[in-house]
Amino acid sequence: MDRLHYFEDLEVGGRWESSARTVTETDILQFAGMTGDFDPLHVDHEYARETPYGQIIAHGLLGLSWVAGLASRRPSVRTLAFAEIGQWRFVQPIYVGDTVRAITEVLEKSDPGRRSGRVTWLRSLVNQRDEILQQGTFVTVVATAAAARRTRVAAHSAA
């Protein structure tokens, strides 16, 4: 994990790449069980063989979940809130055996206040061939370093 970033540390154009994970059929089945989405495209090999994909594919929302999780550590940011997802596109299917990672870039910073500011991130889920599978924007509320220092001082004083 890289160092903890605050609002002031982030620069427009800053870019990070997460670690990678390989998609398994177990991932897909567990997601189906957790969400109740047992669409045959995701869980029925015979059905999926007759689709344009020729095999089962991961749920689109599973990919979105991976982006959120993988990008949460690269960069490591003092996030106070997840505010919105914008213009999310499901570009290509995610197959069993794909190795995916998240690429994150700071697009915009706004509303800097004493405690926090809003950061708009471009997030992409890419596979082992560097093909974009999913892409869109996340907006988060990020703490300022000054607010974090005030919180630490207040906590230390109370102890």
In this structure, what CATH number is given to the domain that contains residue 79? 3.10.129.10
CB–CB of 109/12 below 8 Å?
Answer: yes
pLDDT at 106: 97
In a 3-state reduction of DSSP, which class is residue 32?
Answer: helix
Confidence check: pLDDT of 158 > 60? no
Q: Which domain holds residue 129?
A: 4-158
> Cα dihedral angle (103, 94, 21, 5), rounded to 10 degrees?
20
Higher-confidence position of 92 and 146: 92
SS3 48: helix
Give residue 151's pLDDT. 56
pLDDT of 60 > 70? The answer is: yes
Report which of 138, 79, 154 is spatially closest to residue 103, judged by C-alpha positions. Answer: 138
The separation between the first and the last C-alpha atoms of the chain, rounded to the nearest angstrom, is: 29
Nearest to 41 by CA among 54, 30, 31: 54
123, 87 in Cβ contact below 8 A?
Answer: no
Q: Which residues pair with 141 in a beta bridge?
A: 81, 118
Domain count, the chain: 1
Please tell me the least confidently modeled range out of 8-12, 141-145, 147-151: 147-151
pTM, full prediction: 0.86
